[in-house]
Structure 1
Amino acid sequence: MKRIAITPRPDWKATAERYGFLFHTIDGAPYWDESAYYAFTLEQIERDIETPTEALHHLTLSLMDDIVRSETLMTKLAVPERYWDWIADSWRQRQPHLYGRMDLVYDGSAPAKLYELNYDTPTSVYEAAFFQWIWLEEQQQRGVLSRSADQFNQLQELLVLAFASIAKTLPRPFYFSATRHSAEDLGTVAYLQDCAVQAGVQSDFIALEDIGLSSKGLFTDLKNKVIGSLFKLYPLENMFTDEYGQYLPGAKLQLIEPPWKAVLSNKGILPLLWERFPGHPNLLPAFFEENKDAALPPGWVRKPLFSREGANVHIALPNGEHVHSPGRYTQCPVIRQAFHPLPCFDGAYPLIGSWVVGDIPAGIGIREDTTLITRDTSRFVPHVIE
């Protein structure tokens, strides 16, 4: 694994905008960064990333039966009681799921370790699936990269196949949805909707703010037609506390991602994994904070259950130093996880987002930060297999 400096394409911004990548720059700073790329060997990808991704995914799913049957575990995960049966039913029915991203720390030699799962509303899929592939092809055409260079990237192909499979059982009409004021979310949803079109799936878009509620407690579109299925780029835990969240269990609305993903997108899954599979080479010791007797090695990371984009993370380094990030998750239960630092390449700390589509490892995307905490100001950097 190497970080290699490279000259950006002179027209990369125009290329991004031509392809609808309108959030390539955020708050005046580049989000997409092609001044460097990460190079892997095929063995590193297959042995150290793809194989552990598949194993971790199946270990995680193996917990679901026990979790949805346990009031104690659902309480530990801070899932409101009114949604327990709804979540459990969605799992028993095996309501279809589309995708997920697990964040891995990997330095090119030691086993990859799981930082967390993003299995409900994972973002950066457009960058990983589409735009970094465009970058690779164009740099090859211009002679900057070898024609033999490749990527671990079958995301788009698998997303199209997944939509084709999911669509067979989806109640209609089928809508995609996101908040209307987030360029990143709108761009991500537009890309996924295009994948659905390639699968022959008819759908429409509706802003989350425009979804209505009928007198019978059913969710409706702007023409007061009942929505059958909804892909929502909006966290389930937020839906639970919203004004209309109480109607979800009785609304007969099929969600993508399904309600059972609320369990797996929760950082409380990390101590449950460690409890079930202690010593697993791709897991880090993790405990709920109320477990005062938990023995962590020197250094730990404190994470709220529902924190996103590195918010409210507190790192206690083995040398006694502390690193904090601000955020809004101050009233949320927390876990502690053993400290395992990101590698540092030229002052950059890369975090590997390893994607699963359905149940298949599908590719990676890399986000860099200038600190040990990968925040919402991180940069997306492409990769190649040499």
Structure 2
Amino acid sequence: MYGEPYWNEARAYRFTLREIEEDIEDPSTELHQMCLDAVGRIIESQELMARMGLPEKHWDYIAGTWRGGDPGLYGRMDLAYGGTGLAKLLEYNADTPTSLFESTSFQWQWLEDQITAKVLPRDADQFNGTWEALVARFAEMWPGGDTIYFTSVPENSEDYGTVETMAWAAKEGGVNPLYLTIDKIGVSDDGRFLDADGYPIRFLFKLYPWENMLNEPFADYLAQSGCFMLEPAWKALLSNKAILPMLWRFNEGHPNLLPAFFEDEFAEAGPAVQRAEAAFAAGRVVKPIFSREGASVRILDAAGGEIAASGDHGYDEHPKIVQAYHPLPEFDGSHPVIGAWIIGDTCTGMGLREDRGLITQNLSQFIPHYIEG
């Protein structure tokens, strides 16, 4: 990719156990709890729901999945952290995060290989309990076993790799997994979702964004389908960058958050923006509330001059949020972002991706890590 390997083991990132536990694991678990608190507040307010950019006709369905206690499975928090100072939340993909296979199976295999080759000491470790946590989560959610359909868009090897990893974890947890591409799902006369053979789908893991699903005709059947969705629809509030100004509104000054505002709020420069003025001295990042892999993201300096911008403008039409610019750390000309995995409600592991540019995107390299000391 760009003439370089996506998986790069020419180097690795070394962490101490203290850094993992105190700077990444515990703050990520706390941030997730703050996100859950934010969801509970947002669904009770029409004003706040309107800020999330989701179709109003599906607000009741979204709220119903939250009030009904539909459990979440997984998510990935993207953090800026360079070994000093506090980790800062950049965004939270709580709906369709990828790089799961790399973070769990392949990264752990790398660690074992390096120990066997005596490149790393025998007591080297890795923050990587995500696979075991996934298996346990499936077993907890479906203790009697069940059939879960796993779906993704056709002809996308990265998405299929994530879905296949999920399906193997489900199988190890006692669940019967079946795969079909999302274009093969149909609807019965009474509004139930069907597989390619016409059998009703009771449980569906979909690697397909809620913001897309809710704007398609099939969404009209969600409430009556009797289909339990993974992730549940309330996750549409967390994988949405509109959650960032919500988190700041509800937790202003939290040390692991960056000040963030909706674009119109930032332009109005009200009291909350003024209180955060110092945090914007390094610049600001403008992000669409719906965006994937860094697309349509711009980094501006304090005067509004452009520092960096994505070449992918596919999400330009969406409403924007403005987040204080927190420069990523730099190691040998590359900028890493930590992806902290949340399984259930707990941070269980991480993976790192780095890019020579300032905006992490879909072809950024995956770099393994280990714990020593």
TM-score by length of 2: 0.94
- What is the Cα deviation at residue 245 of structure 1? 2.1
| Distance in structure 1 (CA, Å) of the matches to 2:220 and 2:64 | 16
Q: Which one of the candidate residues 364, 369, 372 is aligned to 1:383? A: 369
2:299 paired with 1:315: yes
* Residue 63 (structure 1) shift: 1.4
Match of 2:92 in 1: 117
Alpha-carbon distance in 1 for matches of 2:3, 2:186 = 35
What corresponds to 2:263 in structure 1? 289
Give 1:178's match in structure 2, choosing from 130, 136, 152.
152
For the 8 Å contact 2:130–2:349, the answer to whether it is kept is yes
Q: Which residue of 1 aligns with 2:217?
A: 243
- Counterpart amino acid of 2:296? N
CA 1:314–1:210: 2 relative to 1, 3 Å: same
> Is the contact made by 2:147 and 2:175 (CA closer than 8 Å) also made in structure 1?
no
Gaps of 5+ in 1: 1-25
Look up the equivalent residue of 1:383 and give its one-letter code: H
Q: What does residue 285 of structure 2 align with?
A: 301
What is the one-letter code of the residue matched to 1:188?
T
Q: Distance in 1 between matches of 2:313 and 2:219?
A: 24
Greater alpha carbon shift after TM alignment, 228-237 vs 293-302: 293-302
Aligned length in residues: 360
* Structure 2: distance between partners of 1:29 and 1:189: 25
Match of 1:14 in 2: none
Match of 2:343 among 357, 363, 381: 357
Larger relative contact order, structure 1 or 2 (CA cutoff 8 Å, min sep 6): 2
State how 1:309-348 maps to structure 2 within 5 Å: 309-318=293-302, 320-325=305-310, 326-348=312-334
Stretches (4+) displaced over 3 A? 26-29, 318-321
Change (3 A) 1:132 1:173: closer
Q: Aligned partners of 1:168 and 1:229: how far apart in 2?
A: 14
Match of 2:105, as an amino acid? F
Name the counterpart of 2:188: 214
Q: Cα deviation per residue 1:51-83 (whole Å; 9 max; x = unaligned)?
A: 111111111111122111111111100111111
Aligned twin of 2:134 = 159
Picking from 96, 107, 121, the partner of 2:71 is 96
* Residue type at the aligned position of 1:89: G
Q: Which residue identity does 2:97 align to in structure 1?
A: P
Q: Deviations over 1:267-289 (max 9, x none)?
A: 01110111111111000000000
Q: Which amino acid aligns with 1:197?
A: K
CA RMSD of aligned residues (A): 1.4
TM-score (structure 1 length as normaliser): 0.91
- Take 2:139 and 2:174, find their aligned partners in 1: how far apart are those partners? 7
Partner of 1:267: 241
Q: Unaligned regions of 5+ residues in structure 2, if any?
A: none
